[in-house]
Every structure is written in structure tokens, then in C-alpha cells.
Amino acid sequence: MELADYIRNVADFPQSGITYKDITPLLGNADAFQEAVTRLSNPLAQLGIQKVVGIESRGFILGASLANRVGAGFVPIRKKGKLPFQTLQQEYNLEYGTDCLEIHRDAILPGEKVVIHDDVLATGGTAAAACELVQRLGGEVVQVSFLVELSFLNGKEKIKQHPIFSLVTF
């Protein structure tokens, strides 16, 4: 199954000049969704993962599925102001602006092995911010995984100190 066939391009979203990679066709197809979860979870089986961190919002979908598949807890990293308990914050740059991520202060215990998952690796700013938050809590980032990597944006450079796994590369 070619998973790239289930990812559509949306021109000029969220702003002019950006081609958005829409994963909702993949999520809406039961076979493609299951295949993506299987391919993303297989490399994790031997890593002793204790937590899977999913980055808001599409990272939640596959991140929670991965956590369930490997028997790990799931931790959401959200945009500023969305989490109800005490948080740590990390600002970062996007290809079209800046933003801030937060994680609950008690979400990761020191020494826990963590996989961070997001839907798309673009410029790497979001993933780097998530890695920083996990490390500030004492977690060990053992892999950063993505459904889609936009290789022409060189996002790997910002997280190259961590193992990276991308299922589909454009």
C-alpha cells in the first residue's frame, strides 16, 4: 500500500504560498490508517517506550494509537493556554510565524523513555520545541516520528541529535 496516495495537497493553506499536506484522507480510510499505525509502531517494539508524546493536534491521532499499540502512556503537548494544570512552555518558529507549546509539569518522569510523534516534519521548530520540553522534564527522547516529512525544508537539522523516523517523505 502506497500511503502517499492518501495524502492530498491543499494549495495556499494556511496562507498563500504554502502547500499543506492533508492527512485526513489517510485517517478516513481504515486500511491506510491501520497500515500507518503498524508501520510507525514496528520500529518502537524493542525500545522500551514508557510514553508517547503527541503534538497538537494531528499528532494526537496517531500518537495515541502508537501509545496503545506499544503499551505506553500518552502525553499531549498543546498550544499555549490549552492544558488545565501546571505547565512548562517552549516558544518556537514555524515556517510562517511563531508559536508556543506547553506540557504538564508531571507528564514525564525523569528517565522515562519517550517517543515524540507529529503528523508532519516541516522546518523542525515544533519538533525541536517538543524535544526540549521532554528533556526539561528529564525524559529521554529515544525517537521522533512523523507520518510525513517535507525533506526540502531540512527540518531534520533542528532535531538531528535524536533518532528520526518518517513514514512518507516528499
Q: What is the DSSP string of 58-108?
A: HHHHHHHHHHHHHT-EEEEEEETT--SS-EEEEEEEETTEEEEEEEETTSS
Q: How are beta strands 73-79 and 51-55 bridged, if at all?
A: parallel
pLDDT (0 to 100) of residue 95:
60
94: nearest Cα among 75, 79, 74, 115: 79
pLDDT (0 to 100) of residue 96:
65
pLDDT (0 to 100) of residue 9:
97
- 95 vs 13, higher pLDDT: 13
pLDDT (0 to 100) of residue 14:
86
Q: What's the predicted TM-score (pTM) here?
A: 0.94
pLDDT digits (tens, 9 = 90+) for 94-149: 666 789 999 999 999 999 999 999 999 998 999 999 999 999 999 999 999 999 99
pLDDT (0 to 100) of residue 76:
98
Q: Tell me the domains of the chain and their CATH numbers.
A: 47-169 (3.40.50.2020)
Q: What contacts 146, CB < 8 A, 6 or more positions away?
A: 117, 118, 119, 120, 121, 127, 164, 165, 166, 167
pLDDT digits (tens, 9 = 90+) for 18-48: 899 999 999 999 999 999 999 999 999 899 9
Residues serving a catalytic function are: 58, 95
